[in-house]
Amino acid sequence: MTQPIGPVDSSKTPRYAGPAGFARLPRLDQVEHADIVVAGVPFDSGVSYRSGARFGPTHIREASRLLRPYNPALDVSPFEVAQVADAGDIAVNPFNIGEAIDSIQAAALELTEGGTRLVTLGGDHTIALPLLRAAAERHGPVALLHFDAHLDTWDTYFGAEYTHGTPFRRAFEEGIIDTEALSHVGTRGPLYGKKDLDDDRRFGFGIVTSADVYRQGVDEVVAKLRDRIGDRPLYISIDVDVMDPAHAPGTGTPEAGGITSRELLEILRGFVGLNLIGADVVEVSPPYDHAEITGVAASHLGYDLVSLLALRHEASAHA
In a domain, 5, yes or no: no
Q: How far is CA 7 from the centre of its chain?
A: 21
How far apart CA 114 and CA 110 sit, in angstroms, is 9
Annotated binding site for Mn(2+): 125, 148, 150, 152, 239, 241
In a domain, 29, yes or no: yes
In a domain, 259, yes or no: yes
CATH number at residue 296: 3.40.800.10
In a domain, 15, yes or no: no
Annotated binding site: 125, 148, 150, 152, 239, 241
In a domain, 164, yes or no: yes
| pLDDT tens sequence across 206-232 | 999 999 999 999 999 999 999 999 999
When the pLDDT of each residue in the chain is averaged and rounded to a whole number, the result is 97
| pLDDT tens sequence across 162-178 | 999 999 999 999 999 99
What percent of the residues of the chain are helix, what percent strand, and what percent coil, each to the nearest 5?
45, 20, 40
Distances in Å between the Cα of 10 and the Cα atoms of 13, 17, 25, 65, 71 are: 5, 9, 11, 9, 16
User: What is the mean pLDDT of the segment spanning 288-306?
Assistant: 97
pLDDT greater than 80 at residue 1: no
Tally the domains of the chain: 1
How far apart CA 314 and CA 307 sit, in angstroms, is 10
| pLDDT tens sequence across 245-286 | 999 999 999 999 999 999 999 999 999 999 999 999 999 999
Q: Which residues span the domain enclosing 123?
A: 22-317
| pLDDT tens sequence across 71-106 | 999 999 999 999 999 999 999 999 999 999 999 999
